[in-house]
Amino acid sequence: MSTVYLAHDPHFERDVAIKLLPHELLHHPTFRRRFEREAKIVASLDHPAIVPVYDFGEHDGQPFLVMRFMPGGSLADRIKAGPIPLMEVARIITRLATALDEIHLRGIVHRDLKPSNILFDQRDEPYISDFGTAKMVYGDTKLTETGGAVGTPAYMSPEQIQGESNIDNRSDIYSLGVILFEMLAGKHPYESDTPLGLAVKHIFEPVPHILDTNPDLPVGCQAIISRAMAKNREERFPTVSSMAEALAAEVLLTQNPQLLDRSKSFTGSFYRPYLSHYGQMNRRAVWQKWLLRVGVAIGLALLVGAFVWQWQGTKVVAGGNETTRIAIVSTAVSPTTSIIHTPSPSPSTPISSPIPTTTPTPQPTMT
Protein backbone atom coordinates (compact mmCIF):
# COMPACT_ATOMS: atom_id res chain seq x y z
CA MET A 1 0.00 0.00 0.00
CA SER A 2 2.92 2.34 -0.68
CA THR A 3 4.82 3.71 -3.64
CA VAL A 4 8.58 3.32 -4.15
CA TYR A 5 10.71 5.65 -6.27
CA LEU A 6 14.30 5.42 -7.42
CA ALA A 7 16.19 8.56 -6.41
CA HIS A 8 19.75 9.85 -6.14
CA ASP A 9 21.35 11.13 -2.95
CA PRO A 10 23.64 14.05 -3.96
CA HIS A 11 25.36 14.22 -0.57
CA PHE A 12 26.61 10.63 -0.59
CA GLU A 13 26.44 10.26 -4.38
CA ARG A 14 24.47 7.04 -4.31
CA ASP A 15 21.15 5.76 -5.64
CA VAL A 16 18.46 5.16 -3.04
CA ALA A 17 14.87 3.93 -2.93
CA ILE A 18 12.28 6.30 -1.45
CA LYS A 19 9.08 4.76 -0.12
CA LEU A 20 6.08 7.06 0.23
CA LEU A 21 2.71 6.60 1.87
CA PRO A 22 0.11 7.60 -0.77
CA HIS A 23 -1.93 10.74 -0.12
CA GLU A 24 -5.20 8.81 -0.07
CA LEU A 25 -3.96 6.83 2.98
CA LEU A 26 -2.55 9.75 4.97
CA HIS A 27 -5.67 10.11 7.08
CA HIS A 28 -5.99 6.39 7.79
CA PRO A 29 -4.42 5.84 11.24
CA THR A 30 -3.68 2.15 10.68
CA PHE A 31 -1.64 2.65 7.51
CA ARG A 32 0.23 5.61 8.94
CA ARG A 33 1.06 3.65 12.07
CA ARG A 34 2.31 0.73 10.01
CA PHE A 35 4.53 3.02 7.98
CA GLU A 36 6.12 4.54 11.05
CA ARG A 37 6.54 1.18 12.75
CA GLU A 38 8.27 -0.28 9.69
CA ALA A 39 11.00 2.34 9.92
CA LYS A 40 11.56 1.65 13.60
CA ILE A 41 11.59 -2.13 13.16
CA VAL A 42 14.10 -2.15 10.31
CA ALA A 43 16.34 0.42 12.02
CA SER A 44 16.41 -1.68 15.20
CA LEU A 45 17.25 -4.94 13.41
CA ASP A 46 20.33 -3.85 11.45
CA HIS A 47 20.85 -7.29 9.87
CA PRO A 48 23.00 -7.84 6.74
CA ALA A 49 20.14 -9.69 5.01
CA ILE A 50 17.51 -7.01 5.66
CA VAL A 51 17.22 -3.96 3.39
CA PRO A 52 18.55 -1.09 5.54
CA VAL A 53 16.74 2.20 6.14
CA TYR A 54 18.89 5.33 5.75
CA ASP A 55 16.36 7.94 6.83
CA PHE A 56 12.76 8.55 7.85
CA GLY A 57 10.72 11.75 7.89
CA GLU A 58 7.84 13.73 6.44
CA HIS A 59 7.53 16.14 3.54
CA ASP A 60 4.39 18.30 3.34
CA GLY A 61 2.71 15.90 5.73
CA GLN A 62 3.61 12.83 3.68
CA PRO A 63 5.79 10.22 5.47
CA PHE A 64 8.74 8.77 3.59
CA LEU A 65 11.43 6.11 4.04
CA VAL A 66 14.85 6.30 2.39
CA MET A 67 16.22 2.82 1.85
CA ARG A 68 19.08 1.11 0.12
CA PHE A 69 18.50 0.63 -3.59
CA MET A 70 18.57 -3.02 -4.73
CA PRO A 71 19.77 -3.12 -8.35
CA GLY A 72 19.53 -6.92 -8.64
CA GLY A 73 15.75 -7.00 -8.90
CA SER A 74 13.39 -9.27 -6.98
CA LEU A 75 12.97 -13.01 -6.56
CA ALA A 76 9.65 -12.70 -8.38
CA ASP A 77 11.54 -11.59 -11.50
CA ARG A 78 13.76 -14.68 -11.33
CA ILE A 79 10.90 -17.11 -10.81
CA LYS A 80 9.26 -15.80 -13.99
CA ALA A 81 12.25 -17.16 -15.91
CA GLY A 82 11.53 -20.71 -14.70
CA PRO A 83 12.64 -23.08 -11.92
CA ILE A 84 15.78 -22.10 -10.00
CA PRO A 85 18.54 -24.72 -9.49
CA LEU A 86 18.47 -26.48 -6.13
CA MET A 87 21.93 -25.27 -5.10
CA GLU A 88 20.99 -21.63 -5.74
CA VAL A 89 17.69 -22.08 -3.89
CA ALA A 90 19.57 -23.47 -0.88
CA ARG A 91 21.94 -20.50 -0.96
CA ILE A 92 19.08 -18.00 -0.94
CA ILE A 93 17.14 -19.77 1.82
CA THR A 94 20.24 -20.14 3.99
CA ARG A 95 21.01 -16.43 3.87
CA LEU A 96 17.42 -15.39 4.53
CA ALA A 97 17.14 -17.88 7.41
CA THR A 98 19.58 -15.92 9.57
CA ALA A 99 17.57 -12.74 9.09
CA LEU A 100 14.20 -14.35 9.74
CA ASP A 101 15.40 -16.14 12.85
CA GLU A 102 16.78 -12.83 14.10
CA ILE A 103 13.46 -11.02 13.74
CA HIS A 104 11.59 -13.97 15.24
CA LEU A 105 13.86 -13.94 18.28
CA ARG A 106 12.90 -10.29 18.72
CA GLY A 107 9.22 -11.22 18.74
CA ILE A 108 8.48 -9.99 15.22
CA VAL A 109 6.51 -11.87 12.55
CA HIS A 110 6.92 -10.51 9.00
CA ARG A 111 3.48 -11.72 7.78
CA ASP A 112 4.07 -10.75 4.15
CA LEU A 113 6.93 -12.91 2.88
CA LYS A 114 6.67 -13.29 -0.88
CA PRO A 115 9.03 -13.28 -3.88
CA SER A 116 8.47 -9.57 -4.61
CA ASN A 117 9.65 -8.72 -1.08
CA ILE A 118 12.95 -10.59 -1.52
CA LEU A 119 15.40 -8.29 -3.31
CA PHE A 120 18.98 -8.71 -4.59
CA ASP A 121 21.90 -6.32 -4.47
CA GLN A 122 24.65 -5.84 -7.05
CA ARG A 123 26.52 -8.86 -5.63
CA ASP A 124 23.51 -11.15 -6.09
CA GLU A 125 22.89 -11.38 -2.32
CA PRO A 126 19.21 -11.65 -1.23
CA TYR A 127 17.56 -9.28 1.26
CA ILE A 128 14.20 -9.18 3.02
CA SER A 129 12.17 -6.01 2.58
CA ASP A 130 8.77 -4.49 3.41
CA PHE A 131 7.98 -4.81 7.10
CA GLY A 132 4.86 -2.72 6.74
CA THR A 133 2.54 -5.51 7.92
CA ALA A 134 4.90 -6.95 10.54
CA LYS A 135 3.46 -7.93 13.89
CA MET A 136 5.07 -7.52 17.30
CA VAL A 137 4.21 -10.80 19.03
CA TYR A 138 5.15 -9.56 22.50
CA GLY A 139 4.35 -5.89 22.00
CA ASP A 140 1.68 -3.88 23.73
CA THR A 141 0.44 -2.29 20.52
CA LYS A 142 -0.91 -3.97 17.42
CA LEU A 143 -0.41 -3.02 13.80
CA THR A 144 -3.75 -4.44 12.72
CA GLU A 145 -7.26 -4.47 13.99
CA THR A 146 -8.23 -7.43 16.15
CA GLY A 147 -9.21 -10.45 14.10
CA GLY A 148 -8.03 -8.95 10.82
CA ALA A 149 -6.26 -11.08 8.21
CA VAL A 150 -3.26 -9.19 6.86
CA GLY A 151 -0.88 -10.30 4.11
CA THR A 152 -0.92 -11.63 0.57
CA PRO A 153 -3.41 -14.54 0.22
CA ALA A 154 -1.13 -16.50 -2.11
CA TYR A 155 1.50 -16.82 0.65
CA MET A 156 -0.49 -16.66 3.88
CA SER A 157 -0.53 -19.52 6.39
CA PRO A 158 -3.87 -21.16 7.26
CA GLU A 159 -3.89 -19.59 10.72
CA GLN A 160 -3.07 -16.18 9.24
CA ILE A 161 -5.91 -16.48 6.72
CA GLN A 162 -8.33 -17.34 9.50
CA GLY A 163 -7.32 -14.20 11.39
CA GLU A 164 -5.87 -15.89 14.45
CA SER A 165 -4.33 -13.38 16.81
CA ASN A 166 -1.59 -15.62 18.21
CA ILE A 167 0.41 -16.32 15.06
CA ASP A 168 4.14 -16.80 15.52
CA ASN A 169 7.32 -17.51 13.54
CA ARG A 170 5.83 -20.67 12.06
CA SER A 171 3.48 -18.57 9.98
CA ASP A 172 6.52 -17.08 8.21
CA ILE A 173 7.93 -20.60 7.82
CA TYR A 174 4.77 -21.61 5.97
CA SER A 175 5.10 -18.62 3.65
CA LEU A 176 8.74 -19.50 3.01
CA GLY A 177 7.66 -23.06 2.20
CA VAL A 178 5.35 -21.69 -0.48
CA ILE A 179 8.22 -19.60 -1.84
CA LEU A 180 10.48 -22.67 -1.80
CA PHE A 181 7.96 -24.62 -3.86
CA GLU A 182 7.66 -21.74 -6.30
CA MET A 183 11.43 -21.42 -6.72
CA LEU A 184 11.88 -25.14 -7.43
CA ALA A 185 8.79 -25.56 -9.60
CA GLY A 186 8.69 -22.21 -11.36
CA LYS A 187 5.05 -21.79 -10.40
CA HIS A 188 2.83 -21.37 -7.35
CA PRO A 189 1.71 -24.56 -5.58
CA TYR A 190 -1.96 -23.57 -5.78
CA GLU A 191 -3.87 -22.05 -8.68
CA SER A 192 -7.06 -20.02 -8.49
CA ASP A 193 -8.68 -17.10 -10.26
CA THR A 194 -9.43 -15.23 -7.04
CA PRO A 195 -7.55 -14.44 -3.80
CA LEU A 196 -10.38 -16.08 -1.88
CA GLY A 197 -9.94 -19.27 -3.87
CA LEU A 198 -6.24 -19.35 -3.01
CA ALA A 199 -7.01 -18.79 0.65
CA VAL A 200 -9.41 -21.73 0.69
CA LYS A 201 -6.80 -24.02 -0.90
CA HIS A 202 -4.19 -23.04 1.67
CA ILE A 203 -6.58 -24.13 4.42
CA PHE A 204 -8.05 -27.32 2.97
CA GLU A 205 -6.03 -28.71 0.04
CA PRO A 206 -3.06 -31.05 0.62
CA VAL A 207 0.44 -29.85 -0.14
CA PRO A 208 1.12 -30.51 -3.85
CA HIS A 209 3.89 -32.92 -4.84
CA ILE A 210 6.85 -30.96 -6.15
CA LEU A 211 8.16 -34.00 -8.07
CA ASP A 212 5.04 -33.99 -10.24
CA THR A 213 6.12 -30.58 -11.50
CA ASN A 214 9.89 -31.01 -11.41
CA PRO A 215 10.77 -34.76 -11.45
CA ASP A 216 14.51 -34.02 -11.60
CA LEU A 217 14.57 -32.91 -7.96
CA PRO A 218 15.73 -35.21 -5.14
CA VAL A 219 12.94 -37.07 -3.35
CA GLY A 220 13.81 -35.34 -0.07
CA CYS A 221 12.61 -31.97 -1.39
CA GLN A 222 9.02 -33.15 -1.00
CA ALA A 223 9.55 -33.93 2.68
CA ILE A 224 11.00 -30.47 3.30
CA ILE A 225 8.15 -28.67 1.53
CA SER A 226 5.51 -30.84 3.19
CA ARG A 227 6.88 -30.05 6.62
CA ALA A 228 7.26 -26.33 5.97
CA MET A 229 3.71 -26.11 4.57
CA ALA A 230 2.03 -28.36 7.11
CA LYS A 231 -1.52 -27.22 7.85
CA ASN A 232 -0.91 -27.75 11.55
CA ARG A 233 1.84 -25.35 12.60
CA GLU A 234 2.98 -27.78 15.31
CA GLU A 235 4.22 -30.05 12.51
CA ARG A 236 6.36 -27.40 10.79
CA PHE A 237 10.04 -26.68 11.24
CA PRO A 238 10.69 -24.97 14.57
CA THR A 239 13.00 -22.37 13.02
CA VAL A 240 13.88 -21.14 9.55
CA SER A 241 17.48 -22.27 10.08
CA SER A 242 16.34 -25.86 10.64
CA MET A 243 14.51 -25.69 7.33
CA ALA A 244 17.63 -24.30 5.65
CA GLU A 245 19.76 -27.08 7.16
CA ALA A 246 17.43 -29.73 5.74
CA LEU A 247 17.70 -28.14 2.30
CA ALA A 248 21.50 -27.92 2.61
CA ALA A 249 21.57 -31.63 3.51
CA GLU A 250 19.62 -32.41 0.35
CA VAL A 251 22.15 -30.49 -1.72
CA LEU A 252 24.96 -32.34 0.05
CA LEU A 253 23.42 -35.72 -0.79
CA THR A 254 22.92 -34.66 -4.40
CA GLN A 255 26.58 -33.74 -4.75
CA ASN A 256 27.84 -36.71 -2.72
CA PRO A 257 25.52 -39.72 -3.25
CA GLN A 258 28.11 -42.01 -1.69
CA LEU A 259 27.11 -40.63 1.71
CA LEU A 260 23.98 -42.75 1.53
CA ASP A 261 26.10 -45.91 1.29
CA ARG A 262 28.38 -45.28 4.26
CA SER A 263 27.02 -45.85 7.74
CA LYS A 264 29.69 -43.65 9.25
CA SER A 265 28.30 -40.68 7.34
CA PHE A 266 25.21 -40.71 9.54
CA THR A 267 27.14 -40.67 12.80
CA GLY A 268 30.08 -38.51 11.83
CA SER A 269 30.37 -34.96 13.10
CA PHE A 270 30.41 -33.63 9.54
CA TYR A 271 27.02 -34.93 8.48
CA ARG A 272 25.10 -34.79 11.76
CA PRO A 273 24.44 -31.00 11.70
CA TYR A 274 22.68 -31.31 8.35
CA LEU A 275 20.32 -33.98 9.68
CA SER A 276 19.67 -32.38 13.06
CA HIS A 277 16.31 -31.00 11.93
CA TYR A 278 15.87 -33.05 8.77
CA GLY A 279 12.39 -34.00 7.56
CA GLN A 280 11.24 -37.22 9.23
CA MET A 281 9.92 -38.67 5.98
CA ASN A 282 13.28 -38.47 4.25
CA ARG A 283 15.29 -39.57 7.28
CA ARG A 284 13.11 -42.67 7.66
CA ALA A 285 13.50 -43.55 3.99
CA VAL A 286 17.28 -43.24 4.18
CA TRP A 287 17.53 -45.43 7.29
CA GLN A 288 15.22 -48.08 5.84
CA LYS A 289 17.34 -48.23 2.71
CA TRP A 290 20.51 -48.54 4.77
CA LEU A 291 19.08 -51.21 7.07
CA LEU A 292 17.83 -53.22 4.10
CA ARG A 293 21.33 -53.32 2.64
CA VAL A 294 22.83 -54.32 5.97
CA GLY A 295 20.21 -57.03 6.44
CA VAL A 296 20.87 -58.53 3.00
CA ALA A 297 24.62 -58.52 3.62
CA ILE A 298 24.23 -60.21 7.01
CA GLY A 299 21.86 -62.81 5.58
CA LEU A 300 24.35 -63.75 2.87
CA ALA A 301 27.15 -63.95 5.41
CA LEU A 302 25.11 -66.29 7.61
CA LEU A 303 24.24 -68.55 4.71
CA VAL A 304 27.90 -68.84 3.79
CA GLY A 305 28.80 -69.49 7.43
CA ALA A 306 26.20 -72.25 7.74
CA PHE A 307 27.48 -73.90 4.59
CA VAL A 308 31.07 -73.81 5.84
CA TRP A 309 30.02 -75.24 9.21
CA GLN A 310 28.22 -78.16 7.56
CA TRP A 311 31.11 -78.80 5.19
CA GLN A 312 33.65 -78.84 8.02
CA GLY A 313 31.50 -81.16 10.12
CA THR A 314 31.19 -83.67 7.25
CA LYS A 315 34.91 -83.55 6.57
CA VAL A 316 35.72 -84.23 10.22
CA VAL A 317 33.56 -87.35 10.34
CA ALA A 318 35.16 -88.76 7.21
CA GLY A 319 38.68 -88.10 8.50
CA GLY A 320 38.37 -90.18 11.62
CA ASN A 321 39.34 -87.41 14.07
CA GLU A 322 35.77 -86.30 14.55
CA THR A 323 35.79 -85.55 18.26
CA THR A 324 38.57 -82.94 18.21
CA ARG A 325 37.54 -81.27 14.96
CA ILE A 326 33.85 -81.02 15.84
CA ALA A 327 34.73 -79.48 19.19
CA ILE A 328 36.62 -76.73 17.38
CA VAL A 329 33.68 -76.02 15.08
CA SER A 330 31.26 -76.02 17.99
CA THR A 331 33.40 -73.44 19.77
CA ALA A 332 33.24 -71.14 16.76
CA VAL A 333 29.51 -71.60 16.10
CA SER A 334 27.35 -72.98 18.88
CA PRO A 335 24.22 -74.73 17.56
CA THR A 336 22.11 -73.06 20.25
CA THR A 337 23.34 -69.47 19.62
CA SER A 338 22.08 -67.27 16.80
CA ILE A 339 24.72 -65.50 14.74
CA ILE A 340 24.05 -61.78 14.67
CA HIS A 341 26.49 -59.28 13.25
CA THR A 342 25.23 -55.87 14.30
CA PRO A 343 26.67 -52.73 12.64
CA SER A 344 27.50 -49.72 14.78
CA PRO A 345 24.45 -47.43 14.57
CA SER A 346 24.19 -43.86 15.69
CA PRO A 347 24.00 -43.65 19.49
CA SER A 348 20.87 -41.54 19.22
CA THR A 349 19.08 -43.69 16.60
CA PRO A 350 18.39 -47.31 17.63
CA ILE A 351 17.89 -49.90 14.91
CA SER A 352 14.37 -51.21 15.22
CA SER A 353 14.16 -53.36 12.06
CA PRO A 354 14.72 -57.08 12.67
CA ILE A 355 18.00 -58.54 11.43
CA PRO A 356 17.78 -62.04 9.88
CA THR A 357 19.49 -64.77 11.88
CA THR A 358 20.38 -68.39 11.17
CA THR A 359 20.61 -71.24 13.66
CA PRO A 360 22.76 -74.05 12.21
CA THR A 361 21.69 -77.68 12.67
CA PRO A 362 24.31 -79.70 14.63
CA GLN A 363 25.94 -82.59 12.74
CA PRO A 364 25.73 -86.11 14.24
CA THR A 365 28.96 -87.63 15.56
CA MET A 366 30.14 -91.18 15.21
CA THR A 367 30.26 -93.32 18.34
Do 24 and 157 fall within a single domain?
Answer: no
- How far is residue 118 from each of residues 113, 125, 342, measured CA to CA in Å? 8, 10, 50
**Tens digits of per-residue pLDDT, 224-270?**
999 999 999 999 999 999 999 999 999 988 887 766 654 333 333 33
Catalytic annotation present for 112: yes
Crossing angle (nearest 10°) for helices 240-255 and 220-228? 170
Do 228 and 324 belong together in one domain? no
Write out pLDDT tens, residues 36-66.
888 888 888 889 999 999 999 988 888 999 9
Task: Name the domain count of the chain.
Answer: 3
Q: pLDDT over 90 for what percent of the chain?
A: 51
Average pLDDT (301-311) is 55
Rounded CA-CA distance 135/197 in Å is 25
Does 82 lie in the same domain as 46?
A: no
Q: What pLDDT does residue 60 have? A: 86
The reported pLDDT for the residue numbered 29 is 83
174 and 233 in one domain? yes
55 and 125 in a common domain: no
Residue 289 lies in a domain: no
Phi, psi of 213 (to 5 degrees): -95, -40
Q: Is residue 95 part of a domain?
A: yes
Domain boundary residue among 252, 277, 308? 252
Give the mean pLDDT of the chain: 77
pLDDT tier for residue 353 given thresholds of 50, 70 and 90: very low
Q: Are residues 162 and 126 in the same domain?
A: yes
pLDDT recorded at residue 356: 44
Indicate whether 211 belongs to any domain. Answer: yes
| Residue where one domain finishes, among candidates 50, 68, 86 | 68
Spatial contact of 131 and 41, defined as CB atoms under 8 Å apart: yes
Pick the catalytic residue: 112, 121, 130, 172? 112
Whether residue 306 is predicted with pLDDT greater than 50 in this model: the reply is yes
Residue 31 structural domain: 3-68
Q: Among 25, 49, 68, where does a domain finish?
A: 68
What per-residue confidence (pLDDT) applies to 297? 58
Domain shared by 237 and 361, yes or no: no
Residue 21's pLDDT band, with cuts at 50, 70 and 90, is confident
232 occurs within a structural domain: yes
pLDDT of residue 325: 35
Burial of residue 337 (CB within 10 Å: 0-12, 13-18, 19+) is exposed
Assess whether 50 and 92 both reside in one domain.
Answer: no
Query: Hey, what long-range contacts does 188-197 have (CB within 8 A, 24 or more apart)?
Result: 188/154, 189/229, 190/154, 195/153, 195/154, 196/153
Asked, for residue 293, whether it belongs to a domain, the answer is no
CATH classification at residue 35? 3.30.200.20
pLDDT at 265: 38
Q: For residue 140, is it within any domain?
A: yes
Give the span between the Cα atoms of 109 and 303, in whole angstroms.
Answer: 60
Average pLDDT, stretch 274-303? Answer: 50
Residue 275 lies in a domain: no
Per-residue pLDDT, 114: 97
Residues 126 and 244 in one domain: yes
Distance CA 244, CA 61 (A): 43
Task: Say if pTM beats, i.e. exceeds, 0.95.
Answer: no
Give yes or no: residues 179 and 94 share one domain: yes
Residues 155 and 210 in one domain: yes
Hey, which bits of the chain come out as E strands?
A: 3-9, 14-20, 53-59, 62-68, 108-109, 118-120, 126-128, 135-136
- Are residues 181 and 38 both part of a single domain? no
Q: Does the structure show a pLDDT above 70 at 361?
A: no
For 104, how many CA atoms within 13 A lie in the half-sphere containing its CB?
A: 18
Rounded Cα distance, 165 and 53, in Å: 28
Residue 292 falls inside a structural domain: no
Query: Which pLDDT belongs to residue 293?
Result: 55
Identify the CATH number of the domain in which residue 147 sits: 1.10.510.10
How many angstroms separate the Cα of 260 from the Cα of each of 194, 252, 253, 255? 44, 11, 7, 11
- CA–CA separation, 230 vs 239, rounded Å? 14
